[in-house]
Structure 1
């Protein structure tokens, strides 16, 4: 955890320093100190504006998105008993993507700067409600039903997104492509509060429910015998995860595989019990997204790659690594 926290700080400073214009680290620290009212009062000017108004919000958003998606992945893997569960398996991100694409290609910017986040959040929540409504029609409460319902909704909203891309304004195709692959370019001081609310809500829920989640590791029957309301815990976890994912996708787009990779990596370092696991997922999720964003901005200058390309590449390597490990090590 100490190493992970140090990596977060180091990557955050590098993320602020590197970009289309490289800023020396001492200027970065001076600008941040000036914004906090510290230092010698020299933290002003164009460099300070770049640091404080553009790069610092982006870095904070990367930390929040990585931490939030990592925690959501850990919760979903626990309550579904599925090692491949993540926010995108349940259609949450597909619904948010469909909402955002509908604004970009069809409806237009009717609510100003808040149009895209509101549409993406609405799409994510709609997808979650459809999944819950679909599963509630089936009397079984097993986690496999939730997974199948999520997959069906994910395919449905993906098809809707593709239809909107082809039926809408073709000139917006580049914006759609970049947004559906994820990016932190929308980060501003006035919208990172959405990501903060999403990460804080799922993190607070996970820490408050960590003992019930630990009991669930021993099986549903054992958890029920210990007084854990398994069905209610599963639905509560899914709703909180849907809420957090919708908020995160609303400001950062679809960033894949973070919720899948981070819980597995964190368990090898922090163990299975959820108090330490949740903290580890938050720290190492922030590390992965910060590092991926830094690579996305520096691999193909002066262009900026969608961050989803980097995380998907890492995720593909991770899944292959999982498959090739001996069974006793999984």
Structure 2
């Protein structure tokens, strides 16, 4: 593929993602509990239905997907592993544990039992607890791995933290079985509670993490050449890795706190971009964010529309779409 062809394909991908995002936003504004309704965009209740419910949910879903897509691209570039995803460093298990503690604390309080940690998290609320848990899981991984100097040690520490925190979450649900249903809903992911406050927080988060990741894209480009080559370029890898892990943790923690554990978006989005066109990490990061937004918003629109007025868990649809794509990709490579 010539340089001119690569530039052309990048331009086509950028335009296609922009157009697709616009179409999906319009579709999100029309999709409701009664299926598709164009008239609801200008009906007498449009200000309430569209302005206060569908619009923030639609924009919030795109922003959550964008943060997960960005985090997935950072993770895959940082660990030089196409199977890396945003939940690799313990953020998912940490967020899940804190959510379970809040739910268990509320359940136990109803029975006259009090847990100091659960009471503290309950006062903060599920959103803040999930965010703190996600960041706490990554911090614990960094402590166990003694920083971000060695990627293999960091990966192993993330696996250990995920297993241990997951076990503690299971113990909490045994103490308060009422929390199990809430934990399941969190694990499946949901965009149904996104409001304008969530949109504001997600916008600020993306505005902070995307430019920082973009500025560090040259580090990810250097890592593709190998550790020794990156060091020979004069890069302070330990410090820069830590900054990239911080970007990964912030983007993932914010997305998880607002929509729960949405599966496969962060894993699949960079694959879609790289399959369409080879590119430097700077382009891949931005395009993966846009692709993640489109993927999650597509799943959200389908979740609202397929069996209306009932609604499917958005995480189930992202798992089906993303997992199906990866299976197809594996089949294509096996046939090649």
Q: CA 1:275–1:163 in structure 2 vs 1: closer, same or farther (change >3 Å)? A: same
1:241 aligns with 2:209: no
1:130 aligns with 2:143: no
Q: Post-superposition shift, 1:213?
A: 2.0
Q: Post-superposition shift, 1:122?
A: 1.1
Is the Cα–Cα contact under 8 Å of residues 13 and 25 in structure 1 kept in the other structure? no
Is the Cα–Cα contact under 8 Å of residues 270 and 276 in structure 1 kept in the other structure? no
Q: Post-superposition shift, 1:252?
A: 0.6
Q: Which residue is equivalent to 2:67?
A: 68
Q: Which residue is equivalent to 2:55?
A: 56
Q: Which residue is equivalent to 1:37?
A: none
Aligned Cα RMSD in Å? 2.4
Report SS of the residue matched to 2:196: coil
1:172-195, CA deviations, whole angstroms, 9 ceiling, x for partnerless residues?
Answer: 433322122100111111232222
Q: Which residue is equivalent to 1:259?
A: 266
Q: Which residue is equivalent to 1:323?
A: 330
Deviates more, 1:191-200 or 1:235-244: 191-200
Q: Which residue is equivalent to 1:305?
A: 312
Q: Post-superposition shift, 1:111?
A: 8.1
5+ residue gaps, structure 2:
1-13, 108-118
Q: CA 1:267–1:131 in structure 2 vs 1: closer, same or farther (change >3 Å)? A: same
Q: CA 1:150–1:194 in structure 2 vs 1: closer, same or farther (change >3 Å)? A: same
Q: Which residue is equivalent to 1:34?
A: none
Q: CA 1:167–1:307 in structure 2 vs 1: closer, same or farther (change >3 Å)? A: same
Alignment of 1:20-39 (within 5 A): 20-22=33-35, 24-25=37-38, 27-28=40-41, 30=42
Aligned length: 312
1:6 aligns with 2:13: no
| Correspondent of 2:184 among 168, 177, 180 | 177
Distance 1:84 1:174 in 2: 29
Q: CA 1:328–1:92 in structure 2 vs 1: closer, same or farther (change >3 Å)? A: farther
1:13-60, CA deviations, whole angstroms, 9 ceiling, x for partnerless residues?
Answer: 1111111135643652x5xxxxxxxxxxxx8x4222110101111111
Distance 1:298 1:110 in 2: 38
Distance 2:150 2:202 in 1: 31
Q: Post-superposition shift, 1:148?
A: 1.1
For CA contacts below 8 A with separation 6 or more, give which structure has more relative contact order: 2
Q: Which residue is equivalent to 1:87?
A: 86
Is the Cα–Cα contact under 8 Å of residues 91 and 128 in structure 1 kept in the other structure? yes
Q: Which residue is equivalent to 1:100?
A: 99
Q: CA 1:249–1:267 in structure 2 vs 1: closer, same or farther (change >3 Å)? A: same
Distance 1:283 1:123 in 2: 26
1:63-95, CA deviations, whole angstroms, 9 ceiling, x for partnerless residues?
Answer: 111111111111111111111111122211221
Q: CA 1:249–1:269 in structure 2 vs 1: closer, same or farther (change >3 Å)? A: same
Report SS of the residue matched to 2:32: coil
TM-score normalized by the length of structure 1: 0.87
1:164 aligns with 2:175: no
Alignment of 1:177-326 (within 5 A): 177-326=184-333
1:127-164, CA deviations, whole angstroms, 9 ceiling, x for partnerless residues?
Answer: 01110000008xx9331111111111111222222222
Is the Cα–Cα contact under 8 Å of residues 72 and 86 in structure 1 kept in the other structure? yes
Is the Cα–Cα contact under 8 Å of residues 117 and 251 in structure 1 kept in the other structure? yes
TM-score normalized by the length of structure 2: 0.85
Report SS of the residue matched to 1:191: helix
Distance 2:288 2:20 in 1: 14
1:142 aligns with 2:150: yes
Q: CA 1:70–1:54 in structure 2 vs 1: closer, same or farther (change >3 Å)? A: same
1:115 aligns with 2:125: yes
5+ residue gaps, structure 1:
31-42
1:297-330, CA deviations, whole angstroms, 9 ceiling, x for partnerless residues?
Answer: 222332222111111122322332343343798x
